[in-house]
A and B are shown apart, each in its own frame.
Chain A
Amino acid sequence: MTSGMADALLAARLLAADRKLGGMVLRGGGPARDMVVQALRALLPADTPVRRLPGHIDEDRLTGGIDITSSLVSGTLVLQRGLLAESAGGVLIVPMAERLRQDIAGRIAQALDNGGNFLLVLLDDGDGPDERPPLALMERVAFDLGLHDVRSADCDCALPAPIPGGSLPLLGDEALSALAATAAAFGIASMRPVLQAAAAARAHARLAGREIAIQSDLEAAVRLALVPRATQLPPEPEAPPSPEAEPESEQAEQPQNDNVDDDDENAPGVPEELLIEAARAAIPPDVLELIASGRAQRSARGGGAGRRTSSALRGKPLGARPGVPGGGRRMALVDTLRAAIPWQPLRRRDPAPEGAGPIRFRRDDLRVRRFEERATSVTIFAVDASGSAALARLSEAKGAVELILAQAYIKRAEVALIAFRGTDAEVLLPPTRSLTRAKRALAELPGGGGTPLARGIALTRQLADAVASRGRTPFLVFLTDGSANIAADGSAGRARANADALAAAKGIASAGLDAVVIDISPRPRPEAARIAQAMHARYLALPFADAKALKAAVTIAAEPQKKRA
């Protein structure tokens, strides 16, 4: 059995042993995931309620309230119980958690905070770190498990052993301090994971029937609760752990030390060193990759998939239209009445249904409220950070982007940043509203290398499509000198690179994306203009370092125009 599966089953047992752990995120993996969920159900008492939360659930169904449709049609008050209340003492499973609406996530988080007493299982089908379940929920569950590497053969293992009785052992100061130090070494700022790790260690000790938590309990807790949240790699130890440190017994044998904090943190053999070492080996490759790309947890989560979904339930009221309330649409009572009144004489000729009120409603009287929502616009900057551009005007280009950012900030638009240099393009910043992060990403952007323009354009298109698929309006701003020299397949060669770039640019035009190309070469050149033409984009030569002209230019550029028909 791979460790991914073993860990997931262990996590399920820990959750069954201590509900305070909140729940878990299960990433990827069809049959393996079902298997883990099934194991969790098997570990809990047979009558434990297990509920699935569909993504389209509305607030009333979630928290309970009046079932308006049935109430009106039957003429009596029909109440419905909320899903959160139904899953009390049981398990709430959220499929497609990465697309969960923010208001729903907020409700669930609040329920968890106020002693909701259910285990939350988030099934995450997200594609990479930019698509993850809402942060508010990720924080409140103890475990984040990847099941991508689990092969189907691993799935026919036996169900985990049932949970033994007994109470949760307490952790000594030594153990607490080891966990806190380990969290610090992994760059985990939030206190929640640390507290969850402590709870996990206690649950782990209880599973083994121990009165006191030992090193292996702490190791398991660190591996499951802390390592997936690492934002940095712990510093390498200066000396190898000394041989007299016996991992298994040390925790239990060491006398309680009152001035723990006076310990030299780097002394070899203290538990956190061992913990960190053990944890280092357990870092899954995807977390390592995230850390290496500098996008671990904090920034990766900030963008969060589907988080700021603007919804049709709020905004400026527009009036009512026929429709059935529910699924987030709210009933317009006055308009419903107005629709029903003219039919009353006719309807009274029919025999009154059981418990009918003074007014007889039919389904088609129902009116729902409509709101005007402003579609969020997302400005995607694709910045050419190649050697030629860097030489020319990269810093001025950065300045221009900052000016547009300030504008975007006023309009509450979101921004995303893509850079292309060397042989490839990358998303430096997924769509965000945070000016702080955009500025930082921009400041950290290095220059130099070839110009893989084709790849830059292709990646921008990909991001724009993703943005559009979430109902937001992408607007593309390319800052380049247009002199491509790396082709789409990564090979060097100016002719091929230019042809590929033009092809990619035509793709933008055919997708009907609104774009502008800002030429950042020292002197306006035909290449960038040609790219702009192929894209059906506006072309703008960046005026020379005159702040006022620059600002005027980018202000025009930052105004998304209606696409010509």
Chain B
Amino acid sequence: MARFPFSAIVGQDEMKLALLIAAIDPSIGGVMVFGDRGTGKSTAARALAALLPPIAVVEDCRYGCSPEAPHTCPDPCRSTKAGKRPVPFVDLPLGATEDRVIGSLDLERALRTGEKAFEPGLLARAHRGFLYIDEINLLEDHLVDLLLDVSASGENVVEREGLSIRHKARFVLIGSGNPEEGELRPQLLDRFGLSVEVRTPKILAERVEIMRRCAAHDADSEAFAAQWAEWDEKALQLIARGQKKLAKIEMPESVLIDAAQICSAVGVDGLRGELTLMRAARAYAALKGARIVKRDHLLQIAPMALRHRLRRDVLDESGSTARIDRAIAEHFS
């Protein structure tokens, strides 16, 4: 069954934009999606992974080595043949054990041949792709710590059960959760690059459109995908163009000053906020096909880059998006 096409997702513009930006520049860090159940969060994330062109890998490599940099994994992946595989999309189940995530001693081989071997976990599988965690706020803290650590360093280091292994694990972390059901520690939240809020569409026409498209997808997913192929192709071209442009994009001094100003106005502590804001603005400008980052680009992505970094005030009821909008209105209008 073909996956639901990315461009056929109704509404959710902010989430789609954040995913595109993360696809253009994965170094921004993950995307945290806040929202209720049944808003199409995981559908959108899956759809993006399915949209991207297949990646080239060394044949049969368990760690997804790229043919350009072969033999960089702990396995002897000596094959010279290159194969293609779809961009990995790993859906981390709630309650996954540490063993499954980081990998563990390969019991099968230990029992059969008495060999001490490493069985790669979900982190290895997600290399060069996406790692999606639904309800990340209900995941145990130590696992979230670990995931953020690996996603920031791009490397999974295993030192347990007599194993000492390190392998590359570069992926875009996408977490989702509903703050009504438990919150994520602020320290962890800060390490996500972007955050978006999704809601179910309130407009009746949009909801009907969702039902119509889901029915069409269920009835004949291939035909439905074909119908949207052209739009998906366009989105793909935007990403490809953005990735190419990204390195050459100029960041004028004035925009840097603007970025610093927004951060200090909303009271974001630490440099991570500013850095992410800059990177996201560059990626956004690249997506738009611009050569220079403009103030508009910056202001457009400021809410999603900063929203989750505001220091939470137990006694201040106004939402963080409102606080950012207020600060932008005060300084740039």
Contact = CB atoms under 8 A, between A and B. Distances in A.
A109 B202 CA distance: 26
Interface residues of B, number: 56
Interface stretch (A99-107, A238-246, A274-282): A99-107
Contacts of A265: 204
Given A66-B107, A136-B94, A402-B314, A190 B39 contact: yes
B95 A409 contact: no
B140 A314 contact: yes
A110 B212 contact: no
A436 B179 contact: yes
A77 B108 contact: yes
Tell me the interface secondary structure of chain A in the complex: helix
A317 B202 CA distance: 47
A432 B181 CA distance: 7
Given A72-B111, A357-B111, A412-B185, A107 B42 contact: no
Contacts, number: 161
Contacts of B214: 195
B76 interface: no
Interface in A143-177: 170-171, 173, 176-177
A353 interface: no
Interface in B83-141: 91, 93-99, 105, 107-108, 110-112, 114, 134-135, 137-138, 140-141
B94 A102 contact: yes
Contacts of B179: 434, 436
B93 A333 contact: no
A352 B142 CA distance: 44
A198 B138 CA distance: 31
Contacts of A334: 161-162
A523 interface: no
Contacts of A66: 107-108, 111
B247 interface: no
A104 B95 contact: yes
Nearest to A309: B95
Interface string A304-330: 100110010111110000000000001
Contacts of A107: 93, 95
Given A189-B38, A434-B179, A180 B95 contact: no
Interface in B201-220: 202-205, 207-208, 210-212, 214-215, 218-219
Nearest to A202: B215
Given A103-B96, A106-B93, A314-B97, A261 B161 contact: no
Q: Which of A109, A176, A195, A399 has the most CB of B within 10 A?
A: A176
A179 B210 CA distance: 12
B94 A105 contact: yes
Contact of B183 (A110, A311, A436): A436
A136 B307 CA distance: 27
B99 A180 contact: no
A499 interface: no
A273 to B, nearest CB: 14
Nearest to B1: A115
A432 to B, nearest CB: 7
A333 B161 contact: yes
Interface in B254-270: none
Given A103-B93, A198-B211, A402-B314, A314 B180 contact: no
A437 interface: yes
Given A184-B204, A265-B204, A298-B180, A191 B314 contact: no
Given A189-B200, A195-B214, A308 B138 contact: yes
Contacts of B218: 20
Contacts of A195: 210-211, 214
Contacts of B180: 298-299, 302, 434, 436-437
Contacts of B288: none
Interface in A26-59: 59
Contacts of B137: 433
Contact of A170 (B93, B111, B215): B215
A501 interface: no
Contacts of A261: 203-205, 208
A298 B178 CA distance: 11
How many residues of A sit at the interface, in one of the four size bands?
35 or more
Contacts of B91: 110, 113-114
Contacts of A193: 38
Nearest to B205: A261
Contacts of A20: 218
Given A189-B36, A191-B39, A173 B208 contact: yes
B40 interface: yes
B112 to A, nearest CB: 6
B182 A110 contact: no
Interface string A377-408: 00000000000000000000001001101100
Q: Which of A177, A304, A439 has the most CB of B within 10 A?
A: A177
A360 to B, nearest CB: 13
A192 B112 contact: no
Contacts of A315: 140, 142
Contact of A191 (B94, B112, B200, B215): B200
A71 interface: yes
A85 interface: no
Contacts of B114: 357-359
A435 interface: yes
18 contacts: A59-B97, A66-B111, A107-B93, A110-B91, A184-B204, A189-B38, A190-B38, A190-B200, A192-B38, A193-B38, A261-B205, A302-B181, A307-B138, A357-B111, A357-B114, A412-B185, A432-B182, A434-B183
Given A135-B37, A171-B211, 11 more contacts: A77-B108, A77-B112, A113-B91, A180-B211, A189-B39, A190-B38, A195-B214, A299-B180, A314-B140, A333-B107, A406-B314
Top 3 closest pairs, chain A to chain B, by CB: A103-B95, A190-B38, A106-B94
Interface of B: 1, 36-40, 42, 91, 93-99, 105, 107-108, 110-112, 114, 134-135, 137-138, 140-143, 160-162, 179-183, 185, 199-200, 202-205, 207-208, 210-212, 214-215, 218-219, 314-315
